């Protein structure tokens, strides 16, 4: 009981610190990316908070998997450095005795990872895609950066807004320059907004302004004054949320087993299984010679995690491309890791491993 309680306390203390650090890094990276988009006018500022929440939920399984792995690794490595392992081994406890406390600590987090990966993360990605689609389809005037010239997709129009959108969704002091067939049209208005028809056609609606038409370098031009003027900006279908396998609920992946959806299902199943095996692998990886370097096992552990996660991603891509059967790919990388894990335990437990035995 003393052995189990001591390890549990050590694991949870390490996990709390690791999780806070990794989650802070995740939030910072997502926040910097979204703030850059908001500063460039590609994203409204009021959407940043919601997209941070959706992005954090979708990446939470990765953070939890690393938390379990690093927490067990750091805790047991500290025991080796402080010679606590010598006390436990001298008390008659083998290295395999650490499996039960590690499982008791890791299994609740692994179940959480499974729940988030299978149900919460697809929901978060779907909501993020729908939210992004609503942003793209709504009044784009609210996303225009004031004081910045913006060029249209076809490079035929240049927009400038002096004041950003207010509560009414309208911008103030609008300038639009259009060049087509050698003619230049310049429109200035006191205010304006964008409207999207149900079929997806986008119009810019300008109010209380003037339009100047003519050829550059020619004295012939027209001046038109208007109270309300609509210009077709873009003709397209109404924006909708992207149809991606990552946003598809798990039950729908099972109901429609196409190669692309089976590849996504493989990745979702692999995440909690990998978290469990990595937690167990941290036991033999945690060995540290107090007289040698302290960072060697940590670097090897990080390399192990990268190789394992990339292997799952490769198998996932092969299944999505139809190059490998799902029934084989769903268990093959984990069986290989399980065999490596058994070999690592054997290396630490055996007095004279078979590869060192002499005839």
Query: 242 falls in which pLDDT band (50, 70, 90)?
Result: very low
Question: The whole model's pTM is what?
Answer: 0.74
Contact between 297 and 286 under an 8 Å Cβ cutoff? The reply is yes
Instruction: List pLDDT tens digits, range 5-25.
Output: 889 999 999 999 999 999 999
Nearest to 159 by CA among 333, 167, 84, 171: 171
Given CA atoms 130, 131, 134, 140 in this order, what sign does their dihedral have?
negative
Statement: residue 139 has pLDDT above 50? no
Query: 357 falls in which pLDDT band (50, 70, 90)?
Result: low
pLDDT at 195: 73
**CA 145 vs CA 43, 131, 165, 234: distances in Å:** 10, 20, 9, 19
pLDDT at 71: 95
DSSP-derived secondary structure for 185-209: EEEEEEEEEEEE-TTS-EEEEEEEE
Span 240-246, average pLDDT: 62
Average pLDDT of the chain to the nearest whole number: 84
Instruction: List pLDDT tens digits, range 38-84.
Output: 776 667 777 888 899 999 999 999 999 999 999 999 999 988 888 88
- Show Cβ contacts of residue 137 under 8 Å, excluding neighbours closer than 6 positions: 196, 238, 239
Span 164-187, average pLDDT: 78
Query: 218 falls in which pLDDT band (50, 70, 90)?
Result: confident
Instruction: List pLDDT tens digits, range 262-300.
Output: 999 999 999 999 999 999 999 999 988 766 656 677 888
Considering only the C-alpha atoms of the chain, give the largest distance between any 2 of them, rounded to a whole number of Å: 103
Provide the 8-state DSSP code for 323: S
pLDDT at 241: 43
pLDDT at 236: 53
Beta bridge mates, 75: none
pLDDT at 237: 46
């Amino acid at each position: 009981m003393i052995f189990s309680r001591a390890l549990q306390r050590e694991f949870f203390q390490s996990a709390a610190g690791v999780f806070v650090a990794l989650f802070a890094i995740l939030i910072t990276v997502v926040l910097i990316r979204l703030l850059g988009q908001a500063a460039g006018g590609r994203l409204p500022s009021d959407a940043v908070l919601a997209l941070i929440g959706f992005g954090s939920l979708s990446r939470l399984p990765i953070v939890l998997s690393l938390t379990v792995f690093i927490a067990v690794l750091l805790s047991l490595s500290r025991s080796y450095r402080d010679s606590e392992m010598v006390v436990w081994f001298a008390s008659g406890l083998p290295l395999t005795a650490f499996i039960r406390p590690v499982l008791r600590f890791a299994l609740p987090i692994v179940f959480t990872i499974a729940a988030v990966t299978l149900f919460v993360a697809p929901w978060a990605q779907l909501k993020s895609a729908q939210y992004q689609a609503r942003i793209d389809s709504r009044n784009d005037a609210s996303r225009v950066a004031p004081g910045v010239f913006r060029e249209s997709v076809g490079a035929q129009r240049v927009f400038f807004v002096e004041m950003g959108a207010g509560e009414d969704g309208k911008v103030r002091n609008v300038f639009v320059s259009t060049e087509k067939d050698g003619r230049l049209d310049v429109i200035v208005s006191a205010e304006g907004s964008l409207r999207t028809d149900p079929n997806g056609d986008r119009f810019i609606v300008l109010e209380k302004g003037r339009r100047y038409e003519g050829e550059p370098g020619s004295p012939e031009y027209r001046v038109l004054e208007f109270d309300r003027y609509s210009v077709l900006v873009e003709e397209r279908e109404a924006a909708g949320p992207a149809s991606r396998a990552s946003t598809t609920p798990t039950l729908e992946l099972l109901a429609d087993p196409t190669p692309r959806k089976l590849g996504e299902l493989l990745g979702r199943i692999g995440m909690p299984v990998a978290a469990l095996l990595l937690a167990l692998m941290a036991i033999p990886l945690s060995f540290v010679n107090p007289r040698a370097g302290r960072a060697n096992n940590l670097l090897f552990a990080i390399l192990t995690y990268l190789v394992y996660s990339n292997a799952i991603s490769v198998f996932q891509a092969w299944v999505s491309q139809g190059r490998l059967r799902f029934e084989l790919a769903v268990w093959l990388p984990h069986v290989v890791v399980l065999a490596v894990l058994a070999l690592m335990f054997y290396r630490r437990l055996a007095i004279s491993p078979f590869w060192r035995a002499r005839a």
